[in-house]
Structure 1
Amino acid sequence: MELNQRRTSLLLLLLFLVFKIVFQYTVVNPAYDLHRDEYLHLDMGYHLAAGYLSVPPFTAFNSLLVRWLGGGEFWVRFFPALYGALTMVVIWRMVCFLGGGLYAQALALTVFVCSAFSRLNVLYQPNSFDVLTWALICWLMMRYLQSQQGKWLLWTGVVAGIGLLNKYTVAVLLAGWLAALLLSSHRRIFRERDLYLGALIALVLAAPNLIWQVQQGFPVLHHMNELVATQLVHVDRMDFVTDQFIFFLGGAFLIVAAFAGLLFYWPYRLYRVVLLMYVLVILLLVYMRAKSYYALGLYPVLIAFGCAYWERVFRNGWNRYLRVLWLAVVVVPFVYLLNVVFPVLGPDQAREKGAKFAALGMLRWEDGKKHALPQDFADMLGWKEAAQLVMQAWQRIPEQARKNTLVICDNYGQAGAVNYFNRGRMPAAVSFSADYVYWFPKLDTLQYIVLLGNEPSEGYRPLIGRMEVVGTVQDALAREYGASVYLLSGLSPQVPVLLKKGVQEKQQSYHWKQGERR
């Protein structure tokens, strides 16, 4: 009997995992290109290093794997879906560990699929692996709290070290756990040698990136300051708190159930520190004006507690007949909002559904203003069109002059998209934006410049003999709408000199101390 139940459990898990990965491919309309951030992350696979301005190196090596697999959109979308599926495995194990049965496990994975996690798993960004890392750390800490075996602290160090190589927000979770343990009856953990060995393991694993940060003058601090000034300043702290429940739509009651179970269900008393950790991390993120999705990694463990507890509440008597109802409460609102939460509809259809998007607060961009489409949707439009215009400009350049041509873009999304669609047929595009400032070719002699973005600044115009407008991005719903491609020729010898100087100054500005002085 137990063997049959185990087989049924594994089969159900497998069905959920297959559904999850297939689902991630079906919720993106073919009318959309990749997201601007995805193009940058993919380009990192061609410039392997121990660190980058915006992210640690894990994403670059993941991009190298995508490249080895062919680099197509299928593989770009596969990895976030895979990391989401692996997070589901962790939740499944948590529920089982807490004594939950098949219903609790199925309910937990249904909540995960029918939530913001699936939206997160659409994009090739560090976030999906970050959530997996947070879930694993919470799972390992639960194992330690239950067994008091130091090996779980060592494994936590391994996961934390790898997590720090993916995204620095893991440090917020670790700070929350340490503070919660210190304030709880579990403070004796600070007398455990394995806690410090685990910390040493994490430090060793993250050391290549830490050394890179030191050598480069801590560009992560410059990036954080820039992020605060341009994006986080527009984050409303109350919106952050509200979003924590909007993330789960109909499944939000199970997060409340997790709070109730941790507070009042006696067998969970050992794990009440999880609730304290959650509160501390949320308070820290609110103080930092962090984006609301930064907290998503906290919820796999709460989903596990909530679903295991809910199953116990509705286990006996007539209550058990309500189990189908609770699944419906989770699924129905998600299905209703499917074409709003995901880029299922084409851009024009999505614009017509503006009221739905507005009701969920999805039309407000990081600039604090409302637009016709959600920012993520607009960030997935116009890239192929822009890359084709750049290729048209490139083809107008005499073949003998192409070796002395620079392709430069206004932002990292443009540069990444040009490289994604045109790689191998023309030189790699660069930009003064993000990591591209480190990837400039040698600037000795320039005969032509292909420029994507705004027209040259006034300081450069006297140094340009001829400026030809090749074309302009026409997709009015794209964030890149109006960006033009210029073919510049008859360049003064001063142009490469000024560009070199600009590159050096931009690179120096990323050194935190120098950037602060500037």
Structure 2
Amino acid sequence: MVTVAVVVVFLAFAGGPGYYVDELYFRVAGEHLAWGYVDQPLLVPLLARLQIVLFGDSLTAIRVVPALLTAVSVLVTGLIAGELGAGRRLQVLTACVCAATLATLAAGHVLHPTAVDHLVWITACWLVIRVLRTGDERLWLAVGAVVGVGLLAKYLVVLLVVALAAGLLVAGPRRVLRSGWLLGGAGVALLIASPGLVWQAAHGWPQFTMAGEMSAGPAGAVNFLVGQVLMIGPFLTPVWVIGLVALLRRAEWRPYRLVAAAYLVVAPLLMLLGAEPRYTEGLLTVLVAAGCVRAATLGRRLWLGAAAVLNGVLAALMVLPVLSIATYAGNPVLAVLGEEQFGETGWPDLAAQVSAVHRALPADERRRAVVYAQNYGEAGALARYGGAYGLPRTYSAQNSYADFGRPADDVDVVVAVGVDRASFSALFDRCEARGRLTFDVPHFEEGKELLVCRGPRLPWEQTWQRLRWTGTF
């Protein structure tokens, strides 16, 4: 019942306020299926394509799979509690608590690699704990299959493998490292992930460039520490701390100590690198499940239930559109809490403003003009909404969007969105400013310039190589 309720909640809020910026990219990537992409493996664009084919090209349709995957992850947290000795009622309570974390709500609300990654980390940890409890080493093949699927969605799962291996070396039981079944599981993982790995190798491992772009370095250490609280939520942070301590101290949980050791190994490393706080959210969720098992008395369970309710309300305010965007924008506290939701607004407005610039062109220029967007969010938004405004095809040279096509050689008029005027203008005979983007609510595209450029100085093949860039925005 908990998993059904989770799906219902996610789908109830799936229809608004709009596409998240990355979803707009995945939607277009799904129209250009490949074995790999500059910034990700193949699975999420494939899921985007399948959902659109099965359910239609709508906001709710593209969010069905994330809702289902996250509901399964909630179920698995209850199974983890069962492996650690919890009875049925406590397993249900554990699932409810884990459903109320920010990490869970964020994973299930939008289509993103995190939706898969969240389930993969939790499921892999559950299977490892089960191997250690039952001694059934054949389950290492299942662990390998889960990791392999994870590698098709996000290469971050390598971090989990390294962390768990380090946990085994530090806390044991080291004997499992000699298991032939473990080696077989590694082979299964590599076999499943091989299409993406081969693509990366053939293209010079662009994922390493992306990883470097996403690291904030030592300056991001404070953000990482704060994120360890926020990723679960302040009301449930004590629960994962209790779980961490219990895994380290309880004698009967000694075989599973590697999970706590894995977190203690990987978290300081990520903090020093200034990595995204969400990189640990899978392990933190497992620690929450362990902490829930310590709620053996009625008083502790009542406290745990109250903390979950408070945490769930706060997390929902942060990632689900429980209030209107105008309400978030009009309140300074809510604006901070719901900051991520502003990334789901304004995309039709962007298309309308670009369309106004395009319509203002002379008729002969309008017929041969194209639109160029600096980042994949702008390009994805124009691909989704531009047709309704009569816009021509939009191109972008960021990441793999650059491989989805470039302007034809005879194109000599470009409506450019969000580019740096100095560097972009250098590629054309002349460029004119046509205003800046404006939005009714906070938006990270606010104030970006709109240009009309004419007369590319080089053939488009050479211009495209100069425009290509890899990174985040």
Q: Could you state the TM-score of these two structures normalised by the residue count of structure 2?
A: 0.89
Cα deviation for residue 196 of structure 1 reads 1.4
For the pair 1:102 / 2:88, whether they are aligned, the reply is: yes
3-state SS of the aligned residue for 1:183? helix
Note closer, same or farther for the CA distance 1:95–1:423 as it changes in structure 2 (3 Å cut): farther
Cα deviation for residue 278 of structure 1 reads 1.8
Structure 1 counterpart of 2:129, from 142, 152, 168: 142
Match for residue 57 of structure 2? 71
Unmatched 5+ residue regions in structure 1? Answer: 1-14, 315-319, 363-372, 512-518
Give the distance between the partners of 1:474 and 1:442, measured in 2 at CA. 29
CA contact (8 A) 2:328 2:334 kept: no
For the pair 1:113 / 2:99, whether they are aligned, the reply is: yes
Question: Which is further off, 301-310 or 341-350?
Answer: 341-350
Note closer, same or farther for the CA distance 1:18–1:456 as it changes in structure 2 (3 Å cut): same
Match for residue 40 of structure 1? 25
Note closer, same or farther for the CA distance 1:324–1:468 as it changes in structure 2 (3 Å cut): closer
Match for residue 194 of structure 1? 181
CA contact (8 A) 1:66 1:75 kept: yes
Report matched runs for 1:55-454 at 5 Å.
55-68=40-53, 69-116=55-102, 117-228=104-215, 232-233=216-217, 236-246=220-230, 247-311=232-296, 314=297, 320=298, 323-335=301-313, 338-340=316-318, 342-355=320-333, 374=339, 376-394=340-358, 404-422=368-386, 426-454=391-419
Cα deviation for residue 484 of structure 1 reads 4.7
Note closer, same or farther for the CA distance 1:166–1:135 as it changes in structure 2 (3 Å cut): same
Cα deviation for residue 442 of structure 1 reads 4.9
Cα deviation for residue 485 of structure 1 reads 4.2
Note closer, same or farther for the CA distance 1:233–1:438 as it changes in structure 2 (3 Å cut): same
Cα deviation for residue 172 of structure 1 reads 0.6
Give the distance between the partners of 2:267 and 2:21, measured in 1 at CA. 28
Give the distance between the partners of 1:397 and 1:471, measured in 2 at CA. 17
How far does the alpha carbon of each residue in 1:222-260 deviate from its partner, in whole angstroms, 9 at most, with x for none? Answer: 1122223xxx24853244234323323322232133134
CA contact (8 A) 2:218 2:272 kept: no
Give the distance between the partners of 1:322 and 1:453, measured in 2 at CA. 53
Note closer, same or farther for the CA distance 1:431–1:176 as it changes in structure 2 (3 Å cut): same
How far does the alpha carbon of each residue in 1:448-482 deviate from its partner, in whole angstroms, 9 at most, with x for none? Answer: 32322357547737955785838743435121122
Cα deviation for residue 185 of structure 1 reads 3.5
Cα deviation for residue 76 of structure 1 reads 2.1
CA contact (8 A) 1:29 1:346 kept: no
Structure 1 counterpart of 2:465, from 504, 511, 517: 504
Opposite residue 344 of structure 1, the aligned amino acid is V
Opposite residue 378 of structure 2, the aligned amino acid is Q
Give the distance between the partners of 2:219 and 2:33, measured in 1 at CA. 33
Give the distance between the partners of 1:462 and 1:251, measured in 2 at CA. 53
Cα deviation for residue 142 of structure 1 reads 1.0
| Aligned positions, number | 467
3-state SS of the aligned residue for 2:236? helix
3-state SS of the aligned residue for 1:217? coil
CA contact (8 A) 1:470 1:487 kept: no
Give the distance between the partners of 2:349 and 2:212, measured in 1 at CA. 33
Note closer, same or farther for the CA distance 1:500–1:260 as it changes in structure 2 (3 Å cut): same
Cα deviation for residue 143 of structure 1 reads 1.6
Note closer, same or farther for the CA distance 1:195–1:73 as it changes in structure 2 (3 Å cut): same
Opposite residue 251 of structure 1, the aligned amino acid is L
Give the distance between the partners of 1:459 and 1:145, measured in 2 at CA. 58
Match for residue 475 of structure 1? 440
Question: Which is further off, 332-341 or 113-122?
Answer: 332-341
Note closer, same or farther for the CA distance 1:181–1:405 as it changes in structure 2 (3 Å cut): same
Cα deviation for residue 52 of structure 1 reads 1.1
Unmatched 5+ residue regions in structure 2? Answer: none
How far does the alpha carbon of each residue in 1:97-125 deviate from its partner, in whole angstroms, 9 at most, with x for none? Answer: 33312331232122222211213322221
CA contact (8 A) 1:249 1:334 kept: no
Cα deviation for residue 504 of structure 1 reads 2.2
Cα deviation for residue 304 of structure 1 reads 2.5
Question: Which is further off, 35-44 or 469-478?
Answer: 469-478
After superposition, the CA RMSD in angstroms is 3.0
Question: Which is further off, 213-222 or 426-435?
Answer: 426-435
3-state SS of the aligned residue for 1:449? strand
Cα deviation for residue 180 of structure 1 reads 1.4
Note closer, same or farther for the CA distance 1:478–1:310 as it changes in structure 2 (3 Å cut): same
For the pair 1:19 / 2:5, whether they are aligned, the reply is: yes
Note closer, same or farther for the CA distance 1:226–1:337 as it changes in structure 2 (3 Å cut): closer
CA contact (8 A) 1:262 1:268 kept: yes
How far does the alpha carbon of each residue in 1:429-464 deviate from its partner, in whole angstroms, 9 at most, with x for none? Answer: 111222222222353101432322357547737955
Note closer, same or farther for the CA distance 1:461–1:216 as it changes in structure 2 (3 Å cut): closer
Q: Could you state the TM-score of these two structures normalised by the residue count of structure 1?
A: 0.81
Note closer, same or farther for the CA distance 1:461–1:289 as it changes in structure 2 (3 Å cut): closer
How far does the alpha carbon of each residue in 1:277-305 deviate from its partner, in whole angstroms, 9 at most, with x for none? Answer: 22112123223211111110103322322
State the identity %.
25
Opposite residue 378 of structure 1, the aligned amino acid is F
Opposite residue 195 of structure 1, the aligned amino acid is L
Cα deviation for residue 152 of structure 1 reads 1.0
Cα deviation for residue 384 of structure 1 reads 0.8
Give the distance between the partners of 1:160 and 1:172, measured in 2 at CA. 11
Cα deviation for residue 415 of structure 1 reads 0.2
